[in-house]
Chains A and B, each alone.
Chain A
Amino acid sequence: DAGVIQSPRHEVTEMGQEVTLRCKPISGHDYLFWYRQTMMRGLELLIYFNNNVPIDDSGMPEDRFSAKMPNASFSTLKIQPSEPRDSAVYFCASSFGGAHQPQHFGDGTRLSIL
């Protein structure tokens, strides 16, 4: 089975530009998570969805960040406008069957804001 698919794998852009990260969860999974990983702060949960509905977005840093899940097989994380401090690796993960089930991670998007 295909795992969690993220695109692009790498993104380099100038500050002020809009950035859109994409995620396709594992088919049949009902939870989707967006994380950010940096050396300084480690792995941080930004937002998660259950059955396409945002449940907790308390980890979203500020209004420049937004996430959507229009259907069960697709989600986006958008940063507008982007800033150099947004540079990080962004991971998408999905799980099935409840909050205590293991999450399956994509390979991440490495974002560099110049």
Chain B
Amino acid sequence: AQSVTQLDSHVSVSEGTPVLLRCNYSSSYSPSLFWYVQHPNKGLQLLLKYTSAATLVKGINGFEAEFKKSETSFHLTKPSAHMSDAAEYFCVVTRSGNTGKLIFGQGTTLQVKP
């Protein structure tokens, strides 16, 4: 069975310090993985995607993620947090087969303190 686990429901950092949001997945095939961000009263916005090319993926707003197959992880990082990064972040995995269904993590709330 496929699953995705975001290891922290809430992360708090100070502005200007690094951000690490952790995601582990379980899959019997080689999935595509995404990170989405959701700001209050907004829809989910794609940050970055991994689709079996380079394992280090760069996204928008300075975010990047590294796909580690041996660890079944896809952690999201940013070198320096900005106040505008405060939001909910979702790690997402595709299902096997030609289905449009995605598997969403439970979400991690990122708080950025001044």
Contact = CB atoms under 8 A, between A and B. Distances in A.
Interface stretch (A12-20, A62-70, A75-83, A93-101): A93-101
Contact of A102 (B41, B46, B95, B106): B46
Given A42-B106, A45-B101, A95-B100, A100 B45 contact: no
Nearest to A43: B104
Contacts of A56: 99-101
Nearest to B98: A99
Contacts of B41: 107-108, 110
Contact of B100 (A4, A33, A107): A33
Q: Is the interface of B mostly helix, strand, loop or mixed?
A: loop
A100 B51 contact: yes
Contacts of A106: 43
A46 to B, nearest CB: 11
Given A105-B45, A106-B43, A108-B43, A42 B107 contact: yes
Contacts of B51: 100
Contacts of B83: none
Nearest to B102: A103
A33 B32 CA distance: 18
Interface of B: 31-32, 34, 36, 41-46, 49, 51, 90, 94-95, 97-102, 104, 106-107
